[in-house]
A and B are shown apart, each in its own frame.
Chain A
Amino acid sequence: MNSIRYKISGVTYSVLQAANCNFRPALLQCRLYSGPTSFPDYFRNPIFSKEEQAKLIEFNELSKLASTPVKPPGVSETSSVYYDPLVNKVINHVMKMGNKNLARQIVEKAFENVKRLQIERYHLASTPEEKEKVILNPKDILHKAIENCRPLLQLLPIKRGGITYQVPGPITEKRSLFLAIKWLLEATNDKERTIHFPEQFAWELLDAANNTGKVVKRKQDLHRQCEANRAYAHYRWQ
C-alpha cells in the first residue's frame, strides 16, 4: 500500500483522498497543498518553465522524472514569458497578510514608474551612445539593483570571555539576497507619508542600479565595519 502511495503524484493523491476518506495514511501529512511543507522531502520541485522542460526533453531526463512524485507549482509560478523568479521573490517580500494581489499591483506600478523615468531619460539623451547606455527594461534594473545591494560579508555576534564581539565572516548567497531585498524595502518604507510606495521604490531601484543611494551606502557601511573588526575574525573558529 505504502509503496503505491509514494509513486503517485501529489495531484492524483489528493483526488484519491477526496474520493475516499478512509484512504488516509497516518504517515503522510497531506493538508491539501497549503504549502510546500505538506509534501515529504522526496517530492521533486515542479518544472514549469518551457525552456527547462525543453532541456529535459533534450537530455532524455523526462522519462526518469515520470516515475517520481512532483509538487504542484504555486499559483504565481507560471510558464508565462514574463515570469521571473526574482520578481516573484520581491513581491513575496512586499506582501503583507497574504495579500499577494495588492503586493503584485504595487510592485508592477513601481516597474511602470521605472520604465516611464527611463524612457524619458532615453528621449533626453542626445547621442546614440548615451541612448544605448539607458537600461529600459525594469526587470533588468531590478536585477542590477539587487546585485549592487548584496553584501559580501556579515557580522556575527560571538560571545568570548563574557564580551560579545561583532565578528566578520562570509555570507551565504541566500542570506545576502534576503538582506538586499530587505534593505531595499526598508529604504523604501522610510519615506514621507504623502509619497506612495511605487514612486519611492522606483527611485530606490534606479539609485541602487546606478550604484548610489541609501542601500548601497548601507552595504558599504557594513563592509567598512567588517574591515574594522577584522582583528576579531579568529573568534569564528577559536
Chain B
Amino acid sequence: MLSRNIRFLSRRYSQALTFRTSEASPTQQNENQIGLFYTMNNDLCKQLFSHGGLPKSFTKQAKTFTETALMVRHPALDVINCIKATDLNKPAVRYVLYGEKGTGKSLTLAHLLHFAYEDGFLIVHIPWVSEWLRRVPRHKEMSNSQSREGLVDIPLDAAAWLLHFKMQNQVLLKSGDLKISQEYVWSKREKTDAGAPLAELVEHGITRVKYACDVIDVLIKEIKLLSNSKKCKTFVAIDGFNSFFYPLTRLRTTTKKKVTPEEVSLTAPFMNITKNDWSNGVIVLTTDQLAVPADRQENYLPKYLLYQKGFEHLDPFVPVEIGRYTEREFMSCANYYRDRLWLRGPPELESELKLTSACNPYDFMELCAPL
C-alpha cells in the first residue's frame, strides 16, 4: 500500500517536472505528448513566420526565452489526425478553430502550419486578415482596380502577401513542377506564358506591385487547378477569417466612400478558395473576436462571428474549440516558465495564478510578466 502510494507520488512528481518533448516533428506527435512543449527549428520558424503568423506578444516572448517553443495541445492533434485520415480525393474539408480571446487559436494554427510544411503541403496562409481590412496606417496604398470595375486594390499588402507565400513555399516553388495552365496578359508588353512555373507568376506580382492583386486572383485559381489535377496538395490557413464578413472595413476610397469587404479585390480569391468545390486540399480557418470591432465581440461562437452569410458560405465545416488550459497543461506551462526564468517565487504562486488567470493562456502569461 505504502509503496504504491510512493510510486504514485513519484509518478505525479515526475509528470509535474517534464514539460518538454524531444519530438520536434508534428507528424510524429501523439497523445503522450499532450501538454508538453516542443522547440521549433529557428531556420524553419524564420521561413514560415518571418512575415507574420505568430502573435506579436508570442514573438516577444520567444525572443526573451531564446527559443520558439509550442505546446502540443489536444485540438491541434485532433485536426492533425483528421487530416492524416482524410481521403484527399474528396472535396476539401473545412475546419474552423474558435475559442475565447487568448486561448491559442493562432498558435494552434501555427502548429498546424508546421505540420503542413513537414507533410509537404503547398501553404496558402494569411497571417491576419484584419491587417488588410482593418488596419489603416497613415499611408495605406490604395487604388481602383484596373481589371475589375468598382473594386479597390491594396497593392502593397498584396505584394507583401506574395512575398510571404514565396517564403513559405520556397522548396515547392523551386522544384518547378507547378506550371500555369494558360497565358495571362497584364499589359501591352507584359505577359506570362502558359506553362511558365508558378514562381514566375509570384515573382511578377512582387516586382510589379501594381498587378499584385490580379496576380493573387490568378494564383489562387491556378492553385485550385493544380490541386484538382493532383500536382500538389494544398493547405489553406486563414487567421481571423470572420473579418471578411463584418459589414464594413476601415478603408476609405479617395472620395471618402466607405469600403465593404466585398469591394476589396483580395476578398474574392480567398472566398473562392474556401469553397469546397475542389479536392486535394485542407482548409483551416480561425474565427476570432479580436478580428472585428468591439460591437461584435459579445460571443466567441463561429455562427455569431461569421454572420449568417459567412456561416452559409462555410457550411458544412468541422468546428474545433480551443479551450483554456487543463490542469496538466497549466502545470507544464508553469514549469516551462520557471525553467525559462519567467516565473519565480514560492510554489503557492501557481495556485494563485491559476485562480486569477482562470487558466487562460494569454492572461497567465501577462500575469507572470511583472513577477
Residue pair B345, A81 in contact (C-beta under 8 Å): yes
Provided the pairs A123-B66, A136-B344, A137-B344 are in contact, do residues A112 and B369 lie with their beta carbons within 8 angstroms? yes
Kindly specify which of A114-122, A145-153, A187-195 makes contact with the partner chain.
Answer: A114-122
Tell me the complex Cα distance, A107–B371, Å: 12
Interface residues of B in 64-86 (CB under 8 A from A): 64, 66
Besides the contacts A81-B348, A107-B370, A119-B342, what 16 more A-B pairs have beta carbons closer than 8 Å? A80-B352, A81-B349, A82-B349, A109-B369, A109-B370, A112-B369, A112-B370, A115-B369, A115-B370, A119-B64, A119-B340, A119-B341, A136-B341, A136-B344, A138-B370, A138-B371
Interface string of A90-121 (1 = CB under 8 A from B): 00000000000000000111011001100110
Interface residues of B in 318-354 (CB under 8 A from A): 340-342, 344-346, 348-349, 352
Which 8 A-B pairs rank lowest in CB-CB distance, beginning with the nearest? A108-B370, A111-B370, A112-B369, A81-B348, A116-B64, A81-B349, A119-B341, A112-B370
- Jot down 28 A-B pairs with beta carbons below 8 A, ordered by A: A81-B345, A81-B346, A81-B348, A81-B349, A81-B352, A82-B345, A82-B349, A82-B371, A108-B369, A108-B370, A109-B369, A109-B370, A111-B369, A111-B370, A111-B371, A112-B369, A112-B370, A115-B342, A115-B369, A116-B64, A119-B64, A119-B341, A120-B64, A122-B341, A136-B344, A137-B344, A138-B370, A138-B371
User: Once A and B bind, how many residue pairs between them come within 8 Å at the CB atom?
Assistant: 36
Q: In whole Å, how far is A17's beta carbon from the nearest beta carbon of chain B?
A: 33
Considering the complex, give the chain A residue whose CB is closest to the CB of B350: A81
Residues of A within 8 Å of B, CB-based: how many? Answer: 17
- Listed in ascending order, the chain B residues whose CB lies under 8 Å from chain A are 64, 66, 340-342, 344-346, 348-349, 352, 369-371
Tell me the complex Cα distance, A108–B366, Å: 10
Across-interface contacts of A109 in B (CB, < 8 A): 369-370
Q: In whole Å, how far is B338's beta carbon from the nearest beta carbon of chain A?
A: 12
Tell me the complex Cα distance, A109–B366, Å: 10
Dominant SS at the B interface?
loop
Tell me the complex Cα distance, A33–B341, Å: 41
Q: In whole Å, how far is A4's beta carbon from the nearest beta carbon of chain B?
A: 39
Dominant SS at the A interface?
helix
- Kindly name the residue among B341, B342, B345 whose own CB sees the greatest number of chain A CB atoms within 10 A: B341
Tell me the complex Cα distance, A107–B369, Å: 11
- Kindly name the residue among A82, A109, A137 whose own CB sees the greatest number of chain B CB atoms within 10 A: A82
Tell me the complex Cα distance, A112–B66, Å: 16
Tell me the complex Cα distance, A119–B341, Å: 7
Interface string of A50-66 (1 = CB under 8 A from B): 00000000000000000
Tell me the complex Cα distance, A123–B65, Å: 9
Q: In whole Å, how far is B347's beta carbon from the nearest beta carbon of chain A?
A: 9
Tell me the complex Cα distance, A80–B342, Å: 19
Considering the complex, give the chain B residue whose CB is closest to the CB of A114: B370
Q: In whole Å, how far is A133's beta carbon from the nearest beta carbon of chain B?
A: 14
Across-interface contacts of A115 in B (CB, < 8 A): 342, 369-370
Q: In whole Å, how far is B311's beta carbon from the nearest beta carbon of chain A?
A: 38
Q: In whole Å, how far is A174's beta carbon from the nearest beta carbon of chain B?
A: 26
Q: In whole Å, how far is A238's beta carbon from the nearest beta carbon of chain B?
A: 51
Q: In whole Å, how far is B193's beta carbon from the nearest beta carbon of chain A?
A: 51
Tell me the complex Cα distance, A234–B309, Å: 87
Tell me the complex Cα distance, A81–B369, Å: 15
Q: In whole Å, how far is A86's beta carbon from the nearest beta carbon of chain B?
A: 14
Q: In whole Å, how far is B234's beta carbon from the nearest beta carbon of chain A?
A: 39
Tell me the complex Cα distance, A70–B252, Å: 62
Considering the complex, give the chain A residue whose CB is closest to the CB of B356: A80
Considering the complex, give the chain B residue whose CB is closest to the CB of A82: B371
Across-interface contacts of B370 in A (CB, < 8 A): 107-109, 111-112, 115, 138
Considering the complex, give the chain B residue whose CB is closest to the CB of A80: B352
